[in-house]
């Protein structure tokens, strides 16, 4: 830590990244940690609460007073008194308050003045957190810093700036004269991607929770994260929504719980629920693969079905237990490859494996190819890591662990053997070259040498490497079968990505546009049916008016519009122009037109204009 | 016209498909993709074009792959939801502005009218579309070139005989090597007529040929077409943006001799109009109503619900309220009401729900209190129904901030509706995460009766009852002298109501008159009085050309007459 002048305010600049919505959680835990370990006086301020220096001080004092109530309830009265007087918020009163508080709590410490040499607070500092530094007005920030630097001797103060963009912003917001009053230390938070990785690791890649996301759903959530907001909170929200949707819409989600509980619940299933199980596509697939007597039993006897369901659920559970271990192991392998054919992050690998048979994909093929070219030390390191993963996962992989350890041992043995061999090889070939020969023979031997190199017998290491890769491949094939193939996967997997997208990432403009352009999408009336880009002239008034207005430029003449509208409408109704009621019909059409136009105005397509009499201005695409 | 359309469908290999438009809308880069797709389509017809394929396309392939990955998930779902509706031409939504021909609307209308009972074809080509190749700014130059080349080529196509044309098109194909030509090229084997059609279509797709006349029924004059084809996309764009002149007809409603309707008669008339599609509308509503219990669950789990889609959602929300919220504390906010403010919402929460007496210095303080009370008492629950969260009065940043903070409380459940096309722009990320929205599309097609009745609609005559009552209220709180002053001004105003060039009453004149009526003794008192009027928006001042201050009453004459009559009665 740099040496600090006594008048400088120690300041932490916290670079948090653009995912603003996640910052709140960070700050909350930060202030909790500070309150537990450092000082009770932690204040967090938001820009929107502090439009002026007065408000800022008010907020600051308000929060500090609350703190002191927590610390010492006997002081409550005093505080209430103060707040009733609507405290004159100034730094002077703040330092007075601080003095009184510290005197009470820490009366033993004789010297209140901190010495600049010792960095230990003799009395707890006041920590002020500016949650969103960029949004504060420069004036407020500058004033606050200047004022408080005057009082730094009276009470210790620490500032924390929350920064979403880059540390440069400090210097843009604060002139040199102000920033020189601060002693800034920069801190960088983890990137949001890492937070997401943690969330996925703890929530999805574990058997702890029975609920799972299907590939499409996970893809949607990850895409919203990567392409829209980088917000881990939003990811969690999407996850929550998936849970709600799953338990709301899937009747068999009652079985989506811990295995023991699920088995119990299977016993109490009603007949209807059994029928639900029978209608699951995955279960039907399962039934089709059974012998005919068993098929009949499964489809007719509830009790037998329940028995089978229990074993199937257990299978599913075991499948998951194995799945994640092998997935992690495969991930260790694939992250060491150049260009990451199967993705760098484990979530990418997970998505790839969830959706389809991963070993049938091109990417997997190239990954295996690359694995076969790994160097020995890399391979050994990876194998060691895998062994650790398998060991930590429990007993069911003891065979695999043994096998891995065997491989490791063989690699060890290779080392000795290999060196000998290499020496042999080189010696023999060199001997041959050293023999005196004519040009023809030399050429021949060289050619032979080349040939032998090309179709060289595999070295022991290479053989072993093949064996290892084949072993991993067999693991993948046996354990990483896609979830959709598992019987009863519908119970625990949420797979309607569609609803999720509709509710999280809606497109209101498109909905509006569709309704106006092609009402048949919503109103299933045959008269409205039309091709893309067409509209029936029996469509609702607003659609016709909208269609007509698309033909206009920036300004629309209301008279023309009305006339066009009435042309269309009267044609549809097929009214006789000579009929008695024409006048009234006209009035009605006029009224309908007025309604449609004011609806368009409400929707924001047009607005009244003063540029020309009886004109409206178009506000949307193509018009503005 | 419809015949023409049929024919087009037949030859149209490279037709603009709406689904692609959706994708294009989702990703900006989609434009490239669409082009590529079309290119591939053409490839099937003519192999050799493949060699000429733009290399840049290959470069983009990687990028597109990733894009497709994204689109495949987000976009595929959009397609899934097609059964429910929302597919729309992105190109149609986000297009460039192009010059519009006056009289276009009438033409379209007559077209629509000519085929009663049948589907009238609005070919997508009639609307300005986003040209598939232009949006990337870096390509602007090449795009413009392309357009030029294309239009020139098309000119050849329609004028030169078949043989010559074949020779002519070959080099141009090579020169721009853009796959789009392959489509027209592929047609060369076919009949001449067909060819003309295709090139026509391609042009429609590439250039928003707004100037092109709608092909009126059967006669599609080739000559006319030719002229329009030469029009250049870029030129059109700048033409549309450069001129501030607006080409519309000068007709006014007054000449039409349509009297302005007031709100009352409007309603009566609308009731007479036969309702359409009742069965379908009912079905739509039933679909939405089946979601009520789900909404309830999600509201309780801390989500807020926002309803969007065409049609008034007021009835739906009302139904939700009456069917599920009857026994719980709820607050209905009519956002469309012109005098609604956040303050009034907060007031009703503190006064009606929390039984708090006392005033607050600022909405922030009020919000603090509400948040504190709701956090302390977890048994307190409030359902907040807001019709038109995007109304003029509530769409401000501060209002939204406060509402968002309210919504973030776990025991306040917010369900709201939005209608404006740009409504989602109100919320930044922070607010969205406070609101914690779940979006529900509830297109109802029901008329916005309540919502638009407050809107100062363009064509509806203001009855002035509101203005009149406020006028009397304000004036009653003033001194008799002040009332006299206003009367004087009002009378003068009415005397001159037939004079179209009446500028208002000049201040000096007014002072003179007031003195004569013993209403004021110095111009200072008069000024003070006028300031008061101005604060209540009873008068407006305007500086004339000669620098003199003129006073006006911004109330229409009918209301003013009513007011004076009423005053006379009172006296």
Output the domain CATH number for residue A60.
Answer: 3.40.50.300
pLDDT of residue B276: 78
Please state, as a whole number, how many other Cβ atoms lie within 10 Å of the Cβ of residue A32: 11
Residue B218 tokens read as 């059967």
Rounded to whole angstroms, the Cα distance separating A65 from A571 reads 75
In a domain, A109, yes or no: no
Q: Are residues A205 and A179 in the same domain?
A: no
Q: pLDDT > 70: what percent of chain B?
A: 54
Q: Is the same domain home to A138 and A172?
A: yes
- For A591, which of B270, B420, B424 is closest by C-beta distance? B270
Residue A29 in any domain: the answer is: yes
User: How much is the pLDDT for A75?
Assistant: 42
Q: Do A604 and B422 touch (CB under 8 A)?
A: yes
- Shared-domain flag, residues A139 and A214: no
Return the residue in A192, A498, A510, A572 with the most chain B beta carbons within 10 A, the one to mutate for interface testing. A510
Chain B residue numbers touching A621 (CB-CB < 8 A): 92-95
Higher pLDDT, B303 or A40: B303
Chain A residues close to B95, C-beta within 8 Å = 621-622
Assigned token pair, A219: 């893809």
Output the six-digit token pair for B73: 């998930």
**Lowest mean per-residue pLDDT among A142-156, A516-530, A577-591, A605-619:** A577-591
Hey, which of A406-415, A469-478, B160-169, B501-510 has the most confident mean pLDDT? A469-478
In this prediction, residue B148 has a pLDDT band, given cuts at 50, 70 and 90, of very low
Residue A268 shares a structural domain with residue A359: yes
| Residue B265 with chain A: CB contacts under 8 Å | 591
Identify whether A35 is part of a domain: yes
> In the predicted model, is pLDDT for residue B514 greater than 80?
yes
Residue B295 confidence (pLDDT) above 80: yes
CA of A502, closest CA in chain B: separation in Å? 7
SS3 (DSSP) at B162: helix
What's the pLDDT at B34?
Answer: 40
Predicted confidence at residue B392, as pLDDT, reads 84
- pLDDT of B38 reads 43
Q: Which residue of B has its CA nearest to A51?
A: B364
Write out the DSSP string of B469-517.
Answer: HHHHHHHHTS-HHHHHHHHHHHHHHHHTTT-TT---EEHHHHHHHHHHT
Cβ–Cβ gap A508/B311 under 8 Å: no
Tokens of A503: 């509710």
Domain locations in chain B?
A: 278-441, 464-570
**Which residues in chain B are closer than 8 Å to A229, comparing Cβ atoms?**
429
Residue from the list A528, A574, A603 with its beta carbon closest to the beta carbon of B419 = A603
Q: pLDDT tens-digit profile of B541-562?
A: 888 777 888 888 877 777 778 7
Answer whether residue A34 is part of any domain.
yes
Q: How many domains does chain A have?
A: 3
Mean pLDDT of B492-502: 80
> Cα separation of A571 and A579, whole Å?
14
Instruction: Compare B187 and B440 and report the one with higher pLDDT.
Output: B440
A538 and A391 both lie in a single domain: no
Domain membership flag for residue A513: yes
Please check whether residues A155 and A227 belong to one and the same domain. Answer: no
Facing residue for B273 by CB, picked from A555, A592, A621? A592
Q: Which of A189, A216, A240 corresponds to the end of one domain?
A: A189
- CATH number for the domain whose boundaries are B464-570: 1.10.10.10
A605: buried, middle or exposed (CB in 10 Å: 19+, 13-18, 0-12)? buried
In a domain, A25, yes or no: yes
Residue B541: per-residue pLDDT: 81
* Residue A152 clears pLDDT 50, i.e. is over it: yes
Q: What is the pLDDT of residue A212?
A: 93
Q: What is the pLDDT of residue B498?
A: 77
Predicted confidence (pLDDT) per residue in A360-374, tens digit? 999 999 999 999 888
Distance from CA of A352 to the nearest CA of B (A): 12
Report d(CA A556, CA A550) in Å as an integer: 10
Question: Residues 6 or more apart from A377 whose CB is under 8 A from it?
Answer: none
CA dist list (Å): B551 to B437, B456, B524: 50, 24, 16
ipTM over 0.90: no
- Whether the CB of A550 is below 8 Å from some CB of chain B: the reply is yes
Choose among B78, B105, B119: nearest Cβ to A534.
Answer: B119
In a domain, A436, yes or no: no
Instruction: Tell me the C-alpha distance between B106 and B149, whole Å.
Output: 33
Whose tokens are 């046996």? That residue is A478
Can you tell me the mean pLDDT for B461-465?
A: 49
Could you give the CA distance from residue B417 to residue B207 in angstroms, rounded to a whole number? Answer: 38
Q: Provide the pLDDT confidence category of residue B463 given band limits of 50, 70 and 90.
A: very low
Q: Residue B75's pLDDT is what?
A: 43
pLDDT surpasses 90 at A622: no
Chain B residues closer than 8 Å to A58 by CB: none
pLDDT band at A441 (very low <50, low <70, confident <90, very high): confident
Q: Is the pLDDT of residue B211 over 50?
A: no
Q: Which of A401-405, B184-188, B325-329 has the lowest mean pLDDT?
A: B184-188
Place of tokens 């250039």: B207
A229 pLDDT higher than 80: yes
Q: Residue A608 phi/psi, 5° resolution?
A: -65, 150
- Please report, rounded to a whole number, the percentage of residues in chain A having pLDDT higher than 70: 84
Higher pLDDT pick, B565 / A27: A27
- Mean pLDDT score across all residues of chain A: 83
Q: Which of A17, A51, A498, A514 should one mutate to test binding to chain B, selecting the residue with the greatest count of B CBs within 10 A?
A: A514
Q: According to the model, what pLDDT value does residue A521 have?
A: 85
Instruction: List, as ranges, residues 285-324 from A with C-beta within 8 Å of B.
Output: none
Rounded Cα distance, B135 and A356, in Å: 36
Q: Is the pLDDT of residue B199 over 80?
A: no
Are A262 and A304 within one domain?
Answer: yes
Q: Is the Cβ pair A508, B98 closer than 8 Å?
A: no
User: What average pLDDT does this structure show over A299-305?
Assistant: 91
Between B94, B122, B443, which is nearest A515 by CB?
A: B443
Whether residue A295 sits in one domain with residue A164: no
Q: Are residue A482 and residue A557 in the same domain, yes or no?
A: no
Pick B471 or B25 by higher pLDDT.
B471
Determine the structural domain holding residue A539 and report its residue range.
508-618
Angstrom CA distances, A83 to A61, A66, A72, A484, B366, stand at 9, 10, 16, 63, 16
Question: How many beta-carbon contacts under 8 Å exist across A and B?
Answer: 328
Mean pLDDT across chain B: 67
Q: What's the pLDDT band for B378 if we cut at 50, 70, 90?
A: confident
pLDDT bracket for residue B365 (50, 70, 90)? confident
pLDDT at A144 over 70: yes
**A60-93: pLDDT as tens digits:** 888 888 766 544 444 444 444 444 444 566 788 8
Quote the pLDDT of residue A570.
83
| CB-nearest partner of A599 from B73, B127, B448 | B448
User: Residue A513 maps to which CATH number?
Assistant: 1.10.10
Q: Which two tokens stand for residue A491?
A: 């119970």
Side-chain-side CA neighbours of residue A521 (13 Å)? 32
> What confidence tens digit (pLDDT) does each residue in B60-73 have?
444 444 555 544 44
Class of domain B278-441: alpha beta
One domain for residues A480 and A564: no
Residues of A in Cβ contact (< 8 Å) with B365: none
Residues A226 and A249 in one domain: yes
User: What is the chain B residue with the closest CA to A534?
Assistant: B122
For residue B479, pLDDT over 70 is answered with: yes
* Residues in A touching B212 (Cβ below 8 Å): none
**A268 and A163 assigned to the same domain:** no
């Amino acid at each position: 830590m740099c040496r600090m002048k006594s008048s400088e305010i120690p300041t932490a600049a916290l670079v948090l990244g653009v995912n603003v919505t996640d910052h709140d959680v960070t700050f909350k835990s930060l202030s909790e940690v500070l309150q537990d370990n450092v000082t009770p006086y932690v204040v967090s301020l938001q820009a929107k609460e502090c439009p002026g220096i007065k408000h800022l001080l008010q907020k600051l004092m308000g929060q500090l007073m609350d703190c002191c109530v927590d610390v010492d309830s006997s002081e409550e009265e005093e505080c209430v008194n103060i707040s009733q007087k609507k405290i004159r918020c100034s730094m002077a009163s703040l330092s007075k308050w601080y003095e009184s508080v510290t005197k009470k709590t820490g009366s033993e410490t004789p010297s209140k003045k901190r010495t600049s040499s010792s960095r230990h607070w003799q009395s707890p500092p006041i920590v002020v957190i500016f949650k969103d530094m960029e949004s504060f007005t420069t004036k407020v920030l500058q004033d606050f810093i200047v004022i408080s630097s005057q009082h730094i001797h009276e009470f210790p103060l620490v500032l924390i700036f929350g920064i979403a963009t880059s540390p440069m912003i400090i210097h843009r917001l604060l002139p040199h004269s102000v920033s020189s009053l601060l002693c800034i230390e920069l801190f960088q938070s983890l990137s949001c991607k890492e937070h997401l990785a943690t969330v996925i690791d703890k929530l999805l890649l574990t058997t702890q929770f029975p609920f799972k996301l299907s590939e499409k759903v996970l893809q949607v959530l990850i895409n919203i994260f990567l392409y829209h907001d980088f917000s881990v909170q939003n990811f969690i929200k999407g996850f929550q929504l998936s849970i709600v949707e799953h338990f709301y819409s899937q009747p068999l989600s009652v079985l989506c719980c811990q295995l023991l509980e699920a088995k119990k619940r299977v016993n109490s299933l009603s007949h209807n629920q059994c029928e639900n199980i029978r209608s699951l596509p995955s279960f039907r697939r399962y039934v089709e693969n059974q012998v005919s007597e068993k098929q009949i039993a499964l489809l007719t006897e509830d009790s037998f079905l329940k028995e089978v369901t229990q074993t199937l659920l257990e299978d599913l559970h075991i499948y998951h237990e194995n799945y994640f271990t092998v997935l992690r192991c495969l991930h260790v392998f694939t992250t060491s490859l150049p260009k990451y054919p199967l993705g760098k992050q484990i979530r990418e690998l997970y998505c790839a494996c969830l959706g389809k048979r991963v070993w049938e994909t091109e990417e997997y093929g190239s990954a295996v190819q690359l694995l076969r070219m790994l160097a020995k030390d890399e391979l050994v390191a990876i194998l060691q890591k895998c062994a650790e993963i398998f060991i930590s996962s429990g007993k069911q992989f003891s065979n695999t662990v043994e096998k891995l350890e065997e491989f490791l041992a063989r690699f060890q043995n290779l080392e000795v053997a290999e060196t000998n061999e290499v020496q042999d090889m080189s010696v023999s070939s060199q001997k041959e070259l050293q023999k005196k020969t004519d040009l023809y023979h030399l050429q021949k031997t060289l050619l032979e040498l080349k040939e032998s190199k090309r179709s060289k017998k595999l070295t022991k290491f290479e053989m072993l490497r093949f064996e290892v890769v084949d072993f991993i491949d067999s693991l993948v094939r046996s354990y990483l079968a896609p979830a959709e193939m598992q019987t009863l996967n519908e119970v625990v997997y949420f797979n309607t990505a569609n609803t999720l997208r509709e509710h999280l990432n809606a497109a209101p403009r498109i909905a509006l546009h569709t309704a106006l352009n092609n009402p048949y999408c919503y109103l299933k009336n045959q008269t409205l049916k039309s091709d893309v880009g067409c509209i029936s002239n029996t469509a609702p008034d607003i659609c016709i008016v909208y269609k007509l207005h698309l033909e206009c430029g920036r300004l629309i003449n209301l008279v023309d519009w009305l006339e066009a509208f009435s042309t269309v409408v009267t044609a549809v109704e097929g009214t006789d122009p000579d009929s008695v009621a024409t006048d009234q019909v006209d009035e009605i059409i006029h009224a309908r037109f007025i309604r449609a136009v004011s609806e368009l105005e409400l929707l924001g397509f047009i607005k009244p204009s003063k540029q020309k009499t009886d004109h409206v201005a178009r506000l949307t695409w193509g018009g503005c | 016209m419809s015949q023409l359309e049929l024919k087009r469908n037949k030859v149209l290999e490279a037709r603009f498909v709406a689904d692609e438009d959706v994708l294009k809308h989702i990703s900006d880069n989609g434009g490239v993709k669409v082009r590529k797709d079309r290119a591939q389509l053409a490839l099937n017809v003519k192999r050799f074009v493949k060699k000429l394929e733009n290399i840049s396309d290959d470069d983009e392939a990687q990028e597109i792959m990733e894009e497709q990955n994204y689109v495949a998930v987000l976009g595929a779902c959009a397609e899934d939801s097609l059964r429910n509706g929302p597919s729309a031409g992105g190109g149609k939504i986000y297009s460039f502005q192009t010059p519009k021909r006056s009289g276009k609307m009438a033409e379209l209308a007559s077209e629509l009218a000519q085929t009663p009972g049948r589907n009238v074809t609005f070919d997508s080509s009639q609307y300005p579309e986003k040209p598939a190749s232009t949006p990337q700014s870096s390509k602007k130059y090449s795009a413009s070139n392309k357009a030029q080349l294309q239009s020139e080529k098309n000119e050849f196509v329609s004028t030169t005989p078949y043989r010559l044309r074949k020779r002519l098109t070959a080099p141009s194909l090579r020169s721009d090597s853009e796959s789009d030509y392959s489509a027209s090229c592929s047609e060369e084997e076919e009949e001449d007529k067909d060819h003309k059609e295709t090139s026509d279509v391609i042009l429609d797709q590439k250039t928003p040929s707004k100037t092109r006349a709608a092909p009126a029924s059967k006669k599609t004059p080739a000559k006319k077409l030719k002229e329009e084809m030469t029009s250049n996309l870029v030129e059109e764009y700048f033409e549309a943006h450069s001129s501030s002149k607006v080409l519309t007809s000068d007709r006014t409603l007054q000449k039409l001799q349509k009297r302005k309707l007031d709100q009352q008669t409007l309603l009566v008339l609308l009731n007479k109009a036969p309702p359409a599609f009742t069965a379908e509308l009912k079905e739509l509503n039933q679909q939405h109503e089946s979601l009520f219990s789900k909404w309830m669950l999600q509201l309780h789990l801390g989500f807020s619900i926002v309803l969007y889609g065409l049609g008034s959602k007021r009835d739906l929300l009302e139904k939700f309220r009456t069917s599920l919220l009857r026994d719980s504390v709820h607050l209905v906010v009519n956002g469309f009401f012109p005098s609604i403010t956040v303050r009034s919402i907060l007031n009703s929460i503190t006064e009606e729900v929390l039984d708090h007496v006392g005033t607050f210095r600022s909405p922030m303080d009020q919000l603090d209190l509400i948040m504190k009370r709701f956090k302390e008492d977890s048994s307190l629950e409030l359902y907040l129904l807001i019709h038109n969260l995007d109304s003029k009065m509530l769409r401000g940043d501060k209002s939204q901030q406060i509402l968002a903070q309210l919504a973030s409380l776990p025991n306040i459940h917010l369900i709201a509706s939005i209608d404006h096309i740009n409504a989602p722009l109100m919320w930044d990320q922070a607010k969205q995460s406070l609101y914690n929205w779940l979006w529900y599309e509830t297109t109802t097609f029901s008329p916005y009766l309540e919502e638009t009745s407050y809107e100062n609609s363009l064509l509806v005559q203001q009855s002035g009852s509101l203005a009149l009552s406020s006028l009397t209220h304000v004036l009653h709180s003033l001194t008799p002298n002040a009332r006299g002053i206003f009367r004087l001004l009002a009378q003068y105003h009415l005397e001159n109501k037939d004079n179209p060039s009446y500028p208002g009453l000049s201040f000096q004149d007014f002072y003179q008159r007031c003195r004569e009526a013993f209403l004021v003794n110095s111009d200072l008192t008069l000024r003070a009085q006028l300031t008061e009027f101005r604060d209540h928006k009873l008068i407006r001042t305007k500086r004339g050309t000669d620098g003199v201050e003129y006073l006006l009453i911004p109330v229409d004459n009918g209301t003013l007459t009513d007011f004076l009559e009423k005053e006379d009665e009172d006296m």
